[in-house]
Structure 1
Amino acid sequence: MTSENPTRPAVRRLRADRARQVADVLRHQVLGDVYRGGQLPHEEQLAEEFGASRNTVREALDLLRAEGLVRRVPGSGTLVVAEKLPHGLTRLQGLAETLHEHGEVTNEVRAFGPVRAPGPVARRLGLPEGGDVLYVERLRRLGGLPLSLDLTYLAPDLGERLDPADLVDRDVFRLIEDAAGQPLGAADITLEAVNADAHSATVLEVPRGAALLMLERLTTLADGRPVDLEYVRFRGDRITMQGRLLRDLS
């Protein structure tokens, strides 16, 4: 006979597993508006809130300290010392448009000119094999600090209307729209983690092999024509991707 109120078996978890789970929730609070730029509650309060031991909370805070998000200050507790900037994934915007509330985005144009389009690039942009595209490489800074390294392939008829001087203080999206005489329509994106190669590490001022967020984005005009293929490497310690997804089962 089965009991009407069976005893639920206890879930056994290693303290390290539990610490990681606590750290995941705290990380969201640290990067959000709960503790940003402030101080975390004492360990006793966190232990009570999470239903965890103080040792588990300490391990969770150690994980956040290793990420450079918080630091322990004797006599003051655990303080938030770094923040990641929110980059939305729900609207098609340039970096300066996305982060305008957080400071001025400046661009260092490191390369600008026509190159022969690699086969995969030509096909993604709907161009003839062996044709040229405009290649642009930019180092993007926010508040003077390196934020991203952008490698861009542009359709040649639009690229020939661009001036590298315009890219210093303007998003390429605005320039494309001006050159095309119509707005951008949509973009297909892929986001993945990559390790910083020697070149990226030097430019972004991170250790070689450091984790970067790489955004691949193929952008089309309102009429559906693909015109811009970008590979954007973000410093993983300075940016966080945010969005809202809707479930559509139709």
Structure 2
Amino acid sequence: MSGESKREAVRRALLDLIADLPNWHPLPPERQLAEQLNVARMTLRTVMDELAAEGRVIRQPGRGAFVSSPKLSYPAELTSFSDYVEGRGLKASSRTVEFSIAPAGPQQARQLGISPRDHVVRAVRLRLADGEPMAVERLHVAEARVPGLTAEDLEQHSFYAMLKERWGITVHSGTRVTEATCTDEHESELLGVPLYTPAFLFERTTQDADATVIEFVSSVYRGDRYRFITNFGSAGSPTTITETYNTAAPPGTQL
């Protein structure tokens, strides 16, 4: 196309190629692609880096690049990670990395609406979909609301399902704040990504029907598996937000 740069032409050609291939199909080697597109390998590599950052391709050292699977629509309404993932035909699971019970202290007392001397259950969980690490979740809940909760419970059951079935607590409303962040050393190790990988930080506070705080959760989601789509209209028209993420990976991939 007139005025189209070489990089833009390569990007368009690669997107056309990806569109014609099934999910997780391997792409040709860089040398072969560069020859086919009559472009320098440096230009090709730059475009491939962009597509990888966008989640359109997955690159594995020693294995090459693969066509990524489509990202999944994530509902804006309150729902548990387990319910959402399993509703998409995937297997949700969790691994409890840390579990402790201790006095809340001033900060968490404010977050949970309790006394600083009240005890809080603190749990760090690795959230997985079809066995692939998606997020590191830090849960904080007043012990008095969930007596007897164990680390094993959080691995074997949906927390929201347990709240309702075991303690008669139903999540009624909540607030979620989203910020950009980078993974620290511990998060990078759990998620299987390089240190300081771009990620999303979600801080969620939920309440029951009486507006009493149930939990405060801080979660770090992999940036290459999660994105936002916003549908909007003219002034006065309703605006909806859909959060989406990509959960799959090529067979044999270690993420």
- Fold conserved between structures, TM > 0.5: yes
Q: Answer yes or no: is the 8 Å Cα contact 1:104–1:143 preserved in 2.
A: yes
Q: TM-score, normalised by structure 1?
A: 0.68
- Runs of 4+ in structure 1 displaced over 6 angstroms? 33-36
Give the match for residue 76 of structure 1: none
Structure-1 separation of matches of 2:210 and 2:225: 34
Structure showing greater Rg:
1
**2:207 corresponds to which of 206, 220, 225:** 220
In the alignment, which residue of structure 1 is the partner of 2:141?
Answer: 154
Partner of 1:217: helix, strand, or coil? strand
Aligned amino acid, residue 86 of structure 1 = L
Q: How does 1:132-211 map to 2 (within 5 A)?
A: 132-211=119-198
Identify the residue that residue 239 of structure 1 maps to in structure 2.
226
TM-score of the pair, normalised by structure 2: 0.67
Which secondary structure state, in structure 1, belongs to the residue aligned with residue 128 of structure 2? strand
Cα distance in 1 for residues equivalent to 2:174 and 2:58: 39
Residues 188, 66 of structure 1: CA spacing in aligned structure 2 closer, same or farther, 3 A cutoff? closer
TM-superposition CA deviations, 1:4-25 (whole Å, max 9, x none): xxxxxxxxx9969x95xx89xx
Aligned to 1:97: 83
**Aligned letter for 1:213?**
F
What is the CA–CA distance in structure 1 between the aligned matches of 2:117 and 2:217, rounded to whole Å? Answer: 19
Q: How many residues align?
A: 207
Q: Is the 8 A contact 1:84 1:240 kept in 2?
A: no
| 1:162, distance to aligned residue in structure 2 (A) | 2.0
CA gap of 1:96–1:35, structure 2 versus 1, over 3 A, is farther
What runs of 5+ residues in structure 2 fail to find an aligned partner?
26-38, 60-64, 238-255
Q: 1:157 to 1:147 in 2, by over 3 A?
A: same
Q: RMSD between aligned alpha carbons?
A: 3.6
Residues 50-129 of structure 1 correspond to what in structure 2 (within 5 A)? 63-65=50-52, 67=54, 69-70=56-57, 81-83=67-69, 85-86=71-72, 88-100=74-86, 101-129=88-116
CA deviation map 1:107-136 (0-9, x unaligned) = 111122312224222112111123221111
